[in-house]
Amino acid sequence: EIPVGRKNIIYTYKMLDGVNLDTSVDSTATITTTVDHLSINVVWSGAANVAHTGAIVIQGTNLDPEASSFAAGDWFDLELSGGTPSLTGTLAGEHIIIFDKVPFRAIRVSYTNASHSAGTFSAILSAKTIGA
């Protein structure tokens, strides 16, 4: 018998959708225990005369974010090889974050507004497991 590989796919979905850049927000947790690869595409747009200065942080946890004992401090910031994505400049922008391996139980996107900005942003996740 020839073993057949499986793929577990988390279909593309918006972790954050049309969030106002003039706020700070955390996405809900995405469970990643069966995921090998994932990407998060951050896109933003806004007014031409307003500079965006907010920062995106990807956070992970190795605990169960749905447990009653889970606390906000159980999230930790992930150090990204490309540095912290910043929503800088005016008008529109895009930043892609790629994870070749995902050794966490769950991840989330955390956005902190540094100054008042006019516009919105979204964070779109796509993930898969290769072979099994």
Q: Does pLDDT of 17 surpass 90?
A: yes
Closest to 43 (Cα-Cα) out of 121, 125, 112: 121
- The confidence score (pLDDT) of residue 90 equals 66
- The enclosing H or E element of 39 equals strand 37-46
Q: Does pLDDT of 26 surpass 80?
A: yes
Q: pLDDT-based confidence at 98, cuts 50/70/90?
A: very high
Q: How far apart are CA 110 and CA 44, in angstroms?
A: 15
pLDDT in tens, 42-54: 998 887 677 777 7
Q: Would you call 66 helix, strand, or coil by DSSP?
A: coil
